[in-house]
Amino acid sequence: MGNSKTKKEKKKRKEIERKNHQIIEKQLRTEQYQEDVEMKMLLLGTGDSGKSTFLKQMKFLYSGGFSFHEGQTYRKAIRMGCVDYTKILLKTLRTFDLDLSKENIRNMQDFFGLVKEKPHTFTPEIAQLIKLLWEDTAMKKCFQQRHKFQIPASAGYFLDRITEIGDEYYKPNKNDILFCRIPTTGVKELKIEINGYTWKLVDVGGQRNERRKWVHYFDDVDILIFVIALDGYAEKLFENHLFNRMTESISVFGEIVNNSYFRKKDLVILFNKIDIFQQNLTKIPIKHAFPEYKGKNTYEEGSQFFKEKFLKCLIKKNQNVSSYNTCGIETDIMKNVFEEIKKSLREKYIKMVC
């Protein structure tokens, strides 16, 4: 009787030891894998989709932000951007039969004289002229028609702050850097170390002349993140004013996701710029650019329409696809999205090694 009980206890202890050993082995394999693994996320999308903003958010969140030198680069880009935005608006006024006040006609002449004399220089005098011109009712009305010509939506954000931007001690803050648009040429990479994993984010330029370089970065991709600007339904390409941005994005998306490199890869679609998309809906019906659209001109129905349009491009219907509606300048939204992507990819790889 006693021996039988002892045998059962020994058997039970061995079973517990065996399970504990399996748990330890699994932990060791996972830890060893974590030491060696580098997960590559490839960011693709057409120009001005918000890829670079996503990368900047990740740098703020996980890599200590931007250095002083990088900040100076953005400072220069923002200041010269304000000069360019003012030029564009002034040259577009006549398109909408808008006239400046008499005082600002003189300011316009002075502005063009200064920027012609010093084409790559930003001075306090130029900043003051921009401020006076931007305050003109005609300039504001012109900017309200921005979907009809080429100027970034963020131009208003910067022109509203021209006094601060023109200050001698101006230093770009986080939002300034996020809003600042510097087209990606070539490739930008960011490596992030989180809990023993290395996440490598690769952002390749989205302009037409940059896309031929994409194929060079297809190898060893663990997850493809394709960024789509929802507001693009109402805008034309910077490179060719005859082409609708959303139509171009759909075409490029179909070509990329059905490439043999990515058919077995996880795909994440970011439907970005939901804030500007909602603003545009109040002025521009979706059916103006997409006559087949039959829904209401609302954010819910409009975003669903475009989501379905993109998903229909997938040849492989059982591909692991997830999508998110995002606003690139909203840090909390972008952090939550990235955490979801990391979690999904991490769990997939742990299953593979265990």
The pLDDT tens digits of the residues spanning 285-316 come to 999 889 999 999 999 999 999 999 999 998 87
Q: Give the pLDDT score at 139.
A: 98
Q: Give the pLDDT score at 34.
A: 47
| CA geometry: angle 313, 318, 323, nearest 5 deg | 65
Cα–Cα distance for residue pair 90/134, rounded to 1 Å: 10
Report DSSP letters for 69-84, one per residue: HHHHHHHHHHHHHHHH
b/e burial code for range 78-89 (CB count within 10 A of at least 16 → b)? bbebbbebbebb
* Closest C-alpha to 309, from 235, 232, 246: 246
Residue extents of the structural domains in the chain: 40-65+184-343, 68-179
CA distances from 31 to 146, 196, 234, 301, 338 (A): 53, 8, 49, 45, 22
pLDDT, block means (10 residues), the chain with 354 residues? 60 65 52 61 88 94 93 96 97 95 96 90 95 98 89 94 96 96 80 85 72 69 92 70 82 88 85 94 90 94 96 80 94 93 75 54
Do the beta carbons of residue 29 and residue 37 sit within 8 Å? Answer: no
pLDDT in tens, 59-82: 999 999 999 999 999 999 999 999
pTM reported for the whole predicted model: 0.82
**Helix or strand holding residue 6 (H, E):** helix 2-36
Cα–Cα distance for residue pair 142/138, rounded to 1 Å: 6
CATH superfamily for 68-179 is: GI Alpha 1, domain 2-like (1.10.400.10)
Provide the angle, in degrees to the nearest 10, between the axes of the packed helices 68-92 and 102-117: 130
Q: Which long-range contacts (CB under 8 A, 24 or more apart) does 121-124 make?
A: 122/76, 122/79, 122/80, 122/82, 122/83, 122/166, 124/166, 124/168
* Closest C-alpha to 51, from 205, 193, 157: 205
* Closest C-alpha to 179, from 330, 12, 17: 330
Q: Looking at this protein, which amino acid is placed at residue 213?
A: K
Task: Outline where DSSP puts E strands in the chain.
Answer: 38-44, 187-194, 197-204, 223-229, 266-272, 321-325
Cα–Cα distance for residue pair 330/317, rounded to 1 Å: 31
Q: How many CA atoms lie within 13 A of 1 on its CB side?
A: 0
Q: State residue 165 phi and psi, 5-degree precision.
A: -65, -30
pLDDT in tens, 253-291: 998 888 887 877 889 999 999 999 999 998 889 998 899
So what's the architecture of 40-65+184-343 in CATH? Answer: 3-Layer(aba) Sandwich (3.40)
Q: Which region holds residue 295: left if phi is over 0, alpha if psi is between -120 and 50, else beta?
A: beta
